[in-house]
Amino acid sequence: MQTQKADGMKTELASGEPSEKASRAVVKSGADVAEVVIAATHLSAAFADALKSVEPELSFTHWDLLNLLRRDGPMRPFQAAARLRISRQLVFQAAKKLGRLGYIDFSSEQDRRAVTISLSEAGSQVLDRVETRFRTVADVLSERVPTANLRPLRTILGLMTNGFDTRR
């Protein structure tokens, strides 16, 4: 097995166990990036399946909006859009669907344009069920690969995400 160091030099591992130096190896080739993306895609699919098993109508955007409302409380849709870094239109569409499902409540003061969205009791319950299902998926992953150190994957995915960030 070969690993690539930050300076581009490759090192050969004698055993199947990665050395400490190898675990800190920096990967930068297209094939390395492809492997990380494939792994992330499989993880994402497992969590997407878990989400759909709880509520087939929910997407990760819906889940993000519900989590935001749980964490930060009631707010206007434009505030949710800014905090989630998505378009106002997407928040309005997601909120409309979540309202139809009974997971969020709408309140309006005097003006229909001044609507506030908040998490309903049913929304809180579905979030609890989703979190339980996500923990189950994570437990299965930990059970199948007990020696996996996911911190490097999280770091690499964070760096890749920042690399695609077009707001800079």
Nearest alpha carbon to residue 150 among 43, 19, 5: 43
Give SS3 for 18.
coil
Q: Are 138 and 150 in contact (CB under 8 A)?
A: no
The DSSP secondary-structure symbol of 19 reads P
Question: What digits encode the pLDDT tens for the residues 30-70?
Answer: 787 788 788 788 888 989 999 999 999 999 999 999 999 99
pTM score: 0.69
Q: What is the pLDDT of residue 2?
A: 46
Rounded distance, CA 109 to CA 57, Å?
Answer: 29
CA 138 to chain centre: 13
What band does 10 get if pLDDT is binned at 50, 70 and 90?
A: very low
Please give the pLDDT value at position 165.
61
The two tokens of residue 80 are 């949710």
